[in-house]
Structure 1
Amino acid sequence: MGRLTTHVLDIAAGRPAPGLRIRLTSLDTGTVLGEFTTNADGRLDAPALQGDVFKPGRYELLFLVGEYFRRTGAISGPDADDGPDFLDEVPLRFGIRDASQHYHVPLLVSPWAYSTYRGS
């Protein structure tokens, strides 16, 4: 059975990103399908989607990285509260074509850059 998983690595600190909030939305329906928080390993405790709700379609994982970096002190100093962070929310839009497969969508992030890939 297919499923959707994710994890977040704080590449500025060289470790997983615990306590980072994530929102999953179906772009086809506009429905928020779940809100999650990463565990100590930077992962979700269970797949974000699986079973009957894991269907082909277009999705968005919205990673709330700004609040994570403010909480961890990665964004600090005299300018920390003087305006918007460079990265506040990171939206990753992707498609699921085959609901029998495992789709793993990790985020590697710092306060100034991010990347992703389809993992295994």
Structure 2
Amino acid sequence: MAPITCHILDTASGAPAASVNVTLSLLSTPAASCPPKYVEVGTGVTNKDGRIAEWSSNFTIEDGQVYKLRFETWDYYKGKTFFPYVEVPFVINMTDGRDHYHVPLLLAPWSYSTYRGS
């Protein structure tokens, strides 16, 4: 299993969101820099369960790293959404003993929510 995973649930339809392009990027400059610069780590497309089964490349995580998931929601909703994409930045904090980070996205055409999963 990859150290970072994600999935999307379409709360408007009550089903997983399949065929959504997702990009995972790593912050390569200090977070205080303007604008922050991210480097792509991997890409994937959600499967029928709304999950990324496998990223396009393997990677490792380290404490203190900042990542960003970008979900391409425009194509999924065929342009009928307020959000052309959703970006979710988060920091790796290994002091809690976890070495896996799961980021669920609860998505609807006019709203979204996210949280740290398990």
What TM-score do the two structures reach when normalised by structure 2? 0.80
Aligned to 2:34: none
Root mean square deviation of aligned Cα: 2.4
Do 2:8 and 2:51's aligned partners in 1 also have CA atoms closer than 8 Å?
A: yes
TM-aligned CA deviation for residue 66 of structure 1? 1.1
How many residues are paired up? 107
Q: Which runs of 4+ in 1 moved over 4 A?
A: 47-50
The answer to whether structure 1 residue 43 and structure 2 residue 51 are counterparts is yes
Unpaired runs of 5+ residues, structure 2, are 30-37
Name the aligned partner's letter for residue 33 of structure 1. Answer: V
Q: Which of 86, 111, 114 does residue 90 from structure 1 map onto?
A: 86
Do 2:16 and 2:49's aligned partners in 1 also have CA atoms closer than 8 Å?
A: yes
Unpaired runs of 5+ residues, structure 1, are 76-84
The answer to whether structure 1 residue 54 and structure 2 residue 61 are counterparts is yes
Query: 1-side partners of 2:78 and 2:2: how far apart?
Result: 35
Relative contact order, higher structure (CA 8 A, sep 6+) = 1
CA 1:49–1:97: 2 relative to 1, 3 Å: farther
Q: SS of the counterpart of 2:78?
A: helix
Q: Structure 1 stretch 28-37 or stretch 9-18: which is displaced more?
A: 28-37
Query: 2-side partners of 1:39 and 1:118: how far apart?
Result: 20
Q: Which of 90, 101, 104 does residue 102 from structure 2 map onto?
A: 104
The answer to whether structure 1 residue 33 and structure 2 residue 36 are counterparts is no
Query: 2-side partners of 1:91 and 1:63: how far apart?
Result: 6
Query: 2-side partners of 1:24 and 1:16: how far apart?
Result: 19
Q: SS of the counterpart of 2:116?
A: coil
The answer to whether structure 1 residue 117 and structure 2 residue 115 are counterparts is yes
CA 1:47–1:23: 2 relative to 1, 3 Å: closer
